[in-house]
């Protein structure tokens, strides 16, 4: 590609990204201002992430990335996440131009897989910590409920005395309830975002209690017992399948390490295969099969845990 054409392409790409970023910011500013005013009336500070999530996100890719960041503990406005996605989309063709089609695709794929892997690992660890803290939190909620408080007040009071990471989760739930959202809707949304089935059960119990009445303490007590029994069963299952999971890890690592060893000892081996038409096909198919095999092994290993994870 000629240098003037490349310069024009880069400038046009940057202008398009800048225009899209300004559009994101202008669309969200009015909604954030309105919600900030409502929070100030309630006597609270304007939480930017809470304000930005006041309405559902229509874009499925933006919703997926925002929810993944939220699960991993990174609180960002959807507008900022959208700006980051636009910048990444603008950098992708530049990598293809600078590094070439094959190397550019490999670099983009490696970056995407690495980022998703780190965020997913952090999200799973944070979710496991929340599940571990949830029985103690619900016991605190039961004690506040026994004093005659509502569920909304009990959740807020228990959240103030809770440790990380369950504290910011339920503080955010309490703020959304004070903004006017029904507690069952907020709990169901939080359970969907964080992939916590127990919050969905609480939302269902709160909805039934609001419509038909009854005591929530019995439901919460049963939920606490269920969570602890499930955690005990999951630990026992992981202990029984430890050897199988280690075998899956070895099966996933051996082909990659063997290929790296052959490449380090004889670089011309893979170069000769790549120069040949049938050899190139075999290399591409082998890489795709390795990726599929690792994905299948990963799903099998995760199946020993919580099905919601």
Tokens representing 202 are 């609480």
Separation between Cα atoms, residue 157 and residue 144, nearest integer Å = 7
Separation between Cα atoms, residue 98 and residue 7, nearest integer Å = 13
170 — pLDDT class (breaks 50, 70, 90): very high
Contact by Cβ (8 Å): 117, 138: no
The pLDDT tens digits for 248-300 are 888 888 888 888 888 888 878 888 888 888 888 888 888 888 888 888 887 77
Tokens representing 291 are 């990726």
137 — pLDDT class (breaks 50, 70, 90): very high
pLDDT for 50 beyond 50? no
32 — pLDDT class (breaks 50, 70, 90): very low
pLDDT for 37 beyond 90? no
Task: Identify the pLDDT of residue 5.
Answer: 52
pLDDT for 10 beyond 60? no
H-helix or E-strand spanning residue 65: helix 60-71
Contact by Cβ (8 Å): 95, 108: yes
Task: Identify the pLDDT of residue 81.
Answer: 85
pTM over 0.75: no
27 — pLDDT class (breaks 50, 70, 90): very low
126 — pLDDT class (breaks 50, 70, 90): very high
38 — pLDDT class (breaks 50, 70, 90): very low
Mean pLDDT within 177-181: 85
Determine what percent of the chain is predicted with pLDDT higher than 70. Answer: 79
Task: Identify the pLDDT of residue 51.
Answer: 44
Separation between Cα atoms, residue 88 and residue 185, nearest integer Å = 33
Give how far Cα 88 sits from Cα of 24, 85, 94, 95, Å. 16, 5, 10, 10
**Mean pLDDT, rounded, of the chain:** 78
Task: Identify the pLDDT of residue 39.
Answer: 44
């Amino acid at each position: 590609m000629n240098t003037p054409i490349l310069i024009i392409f880069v400038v046009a790409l940057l202008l398009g990204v800048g225009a899209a970023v300004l559009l994101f910011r202008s669309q969200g500013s009015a909604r954030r201002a309105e919600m900030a005013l409502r929070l100030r009336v309630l006597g609270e500070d304007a939480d930017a992430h809470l304000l930005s999530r006041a309405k559902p996100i229509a874009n499925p890719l933006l919703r997926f990335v925002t929810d993944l960041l939220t699960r991993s503990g990174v609180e960002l406005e959807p507008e900022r996440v959208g700006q980051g996605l636009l910048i990444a989309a603008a950098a992708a063709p530049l990598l293809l131009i600078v590094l070439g089609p094959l190397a550019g695709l490999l670099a983009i794929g490696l970056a995407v897989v690495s980022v998703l892997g780190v965020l997913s690992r952090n999200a799973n660890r944070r979710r496991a910590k929340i599940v571990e803290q949830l029985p103690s939190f619900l016991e605190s909620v039961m004690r506040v409920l026994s004093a005659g408080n509502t569920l909304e007040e009990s959740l807020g009071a228990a959240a103030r005395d809770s440790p990380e990471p369950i504290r910011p989760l339920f503080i955010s739930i309490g703020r959304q309830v004070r903004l006017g959202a029904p507690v069952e809707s907020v709990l169901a949304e939080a359970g969907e975002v964080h992939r916590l089935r127990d919050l969905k059960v609480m939302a269902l119990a709160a909805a039934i209690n609001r419509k038909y009445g009854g005591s929530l303490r019995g439901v919460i007590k049963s939920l606490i017992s269920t969570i602890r029994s499930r955690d005990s069963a999951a630990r026992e299952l992981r202990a029984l399948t430890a050897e199988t999971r280690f075998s899956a890890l070895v099966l996933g690592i051996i082909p990659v390490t063997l290929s790296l060893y052959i490449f380090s000892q004889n670089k011309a081996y893979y170069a000769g295969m790549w120069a040949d038409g049938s050899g190139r096909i075999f290399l591409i198919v082998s890489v795709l099969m390795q990726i599929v095999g690792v994905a299948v092994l990963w799903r099998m290993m995760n199946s020993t845990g919580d099905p919601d994870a």
